[in-house]
């Protein structure tokens, strides 16, 4: 199968890869029955040779971008997940946080913002109740008035969260109940980089999330991932049904916790804690291609994320390198390129 070229705007590009290289791709369907050396089920599914995952569903919202495709569908919403599910992906990826009153909800940013008396105000998602969280954006119930959402990006600019196809905020339970059942969930366990969490707090949050997963997942494929190393390690200790991957940007940013600062450190975290794999920023893999070999020699899985995954040539190169999956924003274009 040859990878087809796609036209992509506002994302980095790579040199053209030869078009006649062969790709050994399995079907996007998942087979049951994977066990570790001790015959303990670690996930219940065998990953196909290559996977495409929808980032926050049908792609993250970049409100500052000129690319209208990144402002088409509200990210991390039921609409976004089911729109992505129409394409030959295996998983949708999304971010889970737990509200003040212990409800797992789907939201990426640590803070949620709106205008109050002409002034931008934001609240930490984990410091508000479920009802407060759901009051933002379009409302499910007729007659309820929404709080129009604003978003502050990293450089401090504030944008109206306006997309072509909007949708309500949602809970983890709703996602299990309303998203196409054939699609797996890559559940990112979201924590604030600026907070030092005690183990008791992490365990409480993870148990709240697990309670929903265990009740509603049934036979749906599940993958847990987190940038927070202690959360990833603890999730592995709390359950052995689903694989846990450690998220890393591979050194693009430097953190006080050295475990987060390189792919090599990520490998050590996985091996020490019995994690099943790594989700790396794709640029880290291209800067250090040997990392893929070392990850696979350690018997770990490797998936990547990042804007370069919206470039067909970059995805093609990763298939040849042995990467097992990519998390992408441009789901139609990349699935067409990979699966034809």
- Domain covering 51-110+166-339, topology: TIM Barrel (3.20.20)
Distance CA 262, CA 268 (A): 10
Using alpha carbons, select from 61, 84, 70 the residue that is nearest to residue 9. 70
Would the pLDDT of 13 be above 90? no
At 34-54, the pLDDT tens digits run: 444 443 434 334 566 799 999
For 240, how many CA atoms within 13 A lie in the half-sphere containing its CB?
11
pLDDT score of 233: 98
Average pLDDT over residues 245-253: 94
Of 29-43, 105-119, 181-195, 321-335, where does mean pLDDT reach its minimum? 29-43
pLDDT score of 8: 40
pLDDT score of 48: 63
pLDDT score of 252: 87
Q: How many residues does the chain have?
A: 340
pLDDT score of 340: 86
At 69-128, the pLDDT tens digits run: 999 999 999 999 999 999 999 999 999 999 999 999 999 999 999 999 899 999 999 999
pLDDT score of 143: 87
pLDDT score of 204: 98
Let me know: does 48 contact 325? Beta carbons within 8 Å: no
Give percent above pLDDT 70 in the chain.
86
pLDDT score of 263: 96
Domain ranges of the chain: 51-110+166-339
Q: Which residue has the higher pLDDT, 255 or 9?
A: 255
Residue ranges in the chain assigned as alpha helix (H): 78-84, 130-134, 172-178, 199-216, 229-238, 263-273, 282-287, 290-297, 312-321, 331-339
> Three-state DSSP class for 136?
strand
Would the pLDDT of 3 be above 80? no
Average pLDDT over residues 178-204: 97
At 199-224, the pLDDT tens digits run: 999 999 999 999 999 999 999 999 99
Q: What are phi and psi of 146, to 5 degrees?
A: -80, 155
Average pLDDT over residues 135-151: 94
């Amino acid at each position: 199968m040859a990878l087809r070229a796609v036209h992509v705007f506002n994302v980095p590009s790579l040199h053209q890869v030869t078009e006649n290289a062969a790709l050994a791709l399995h079907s996007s369907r998942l087979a049951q029955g994977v066990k570790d050396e001790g015959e303990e089920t670690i996930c219940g599914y065998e990953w196909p040779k290559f996977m495409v995952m929808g980032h926050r569903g049908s792609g993250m919202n970049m409100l500052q971008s000129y690319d209208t495709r990144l402002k088409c569908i509200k990210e991390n919403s039921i609409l976004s997940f089911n729109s992505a599910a129409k394409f030959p992906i295996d998983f949708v990826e999304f971010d889970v946080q737990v509200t003040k009153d212990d409800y797992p909800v789907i939201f990426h940013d640590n803070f949620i913002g709106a205008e109050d008396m002409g002034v931008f105000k934001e609240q930490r998602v984990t410091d508000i109740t479920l009802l407060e969280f759901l009051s933002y954006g379009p409302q499910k119930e007729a007659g309820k008035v929404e709080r129009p959402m604003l978003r502050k990006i990293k450089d401090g600019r504030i944008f109206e969260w306006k997309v072509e196809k909007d949708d309500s905020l949602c809970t983890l339970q709703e996602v299990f109940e309303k998203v196409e059942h054939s699609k797996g969930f890559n559940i990112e366990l979201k924590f604030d980089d600026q907070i030092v969490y005690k183990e008791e707090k992490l365990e409480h949050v993870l148990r709240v999330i697990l309670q929903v997963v265990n009740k509603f997942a049934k036979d749906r494929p599940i993958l847990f991932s987190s940038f927070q190393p202690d959360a990833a390690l603890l999730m592995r200790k709390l359950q052995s049904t689903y694989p846990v991957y450690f998220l890393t940007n591979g050194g693009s940013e430097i953190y006080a916790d050295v475990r987060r600062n390189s792919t090599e450190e990520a490998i050590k975290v996985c091996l020490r804690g019995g994690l099943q794999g790594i989700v790396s920023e794709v640029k880290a893999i291209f800067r250090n291609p040997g990392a893929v070999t070392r990850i696979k020699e350690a018997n770990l899985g490797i998936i990547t994320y990042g804007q370069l995954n919206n470039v067909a040539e970059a995805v093609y190169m990763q298939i040849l390198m042995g990467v097992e999956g990519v998390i992408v924003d441009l789901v139609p274009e990349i699935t067409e390129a990979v699966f034809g």
